[in-house]
Amino acid sequence: MRIAVVDYGAGNIRSAVRAFEHVAGQIGIAAEVEVVTTPEAILAADRIVLPGDGAFADCIGALRSRTAMEAALEEAVRRRARPFFGICVGMQLLATRGLEYGEHAGLGWVAGDVERIVPSDPRLKVPHMGWNELMLTHPHPVTDGLAAGAHAYFIHSYHLVPKAHDAVLAEADHGGPIVAVVAEGNVVGTQFHPEKSQSTGLRMIANFLRWTP
């Protein structure tokens, strides 16, 4: 199995690579986890991981500045149906548009907007940072086996607000619901960092590697 971790200058690449390598070894999957920077490498992969850190505008701008990278993702994920995992802002980029530092078109794979978190309790701080409990909303192979009350590690000030709640697999609460996991066909994304979320994150990575959409 060839797993492409896409490096477009806007993600914590090495920690994601180590997590996927570790889990693949644990569950006995022969996998080559490769940091990729070219469209050709994306198209050659069996599974694709898109990390992202920072602001939506910067991340989508960095992705689109790489020649033909967005087109390669469209071809590999949307047309060839390769399993895809977006992490943090990499998940937010799936949205129709991001509203951080202006309005910016996203990949449009999950209908919805990325909006600033506005907690109902003004005592709650933004960014939403640290460990928070996941509340599963819909069953899915990638969240299979997560224990009730599983926690994950978040750090973000904006969140995806999808048009269809059917796309939401899990939420967290931070003065209102925060989408934690989304899925649409062969695409899955987590707002939290699975590589920093201990058993919860490792379980989801293992499920993703076994998943046949």
Q: Please provide the DSSP assignment of 87-102 as one string.
A: ETHHHHTTEEEE-SSS
83-116: b (≥16 Cβ within 10 Å) or e? bbbbbbbbbbbbbbbbbbeeebebbebbebbbee
Active site residue 138: no
Active site residue 165: no
Sign of CA dihedral 43, 46, 47, 53: negative
Q: Outline where 74-197 has alpha helix (H).
A: 89-92
Catalytic residue among 156, 159, 174, 193: 193
Alpha-carbon gap, residue 29 to 192, rounded angstroms = 24
CA 46, 154, 113 angle in degrees (round to 5)?
75
Catalytic residue among 88, 100, 104, 171: 88
Active site residue 193: yes
Name every residue whose Cβ is closer than 8 Å to that of residue 183 and which is 6 or more positions away in sequence.
140, 142, 167, 169, 189
> Whole-angstrom distance between the N-terminal and C-terminal Cα of the chain?
15
Alpha-carbon gap, residue 82 to 84, rounded angstroms = 6
The residue whose two tokens read 């192979």 is: 141
Residues taking part in catalysis? 88, 193, 195
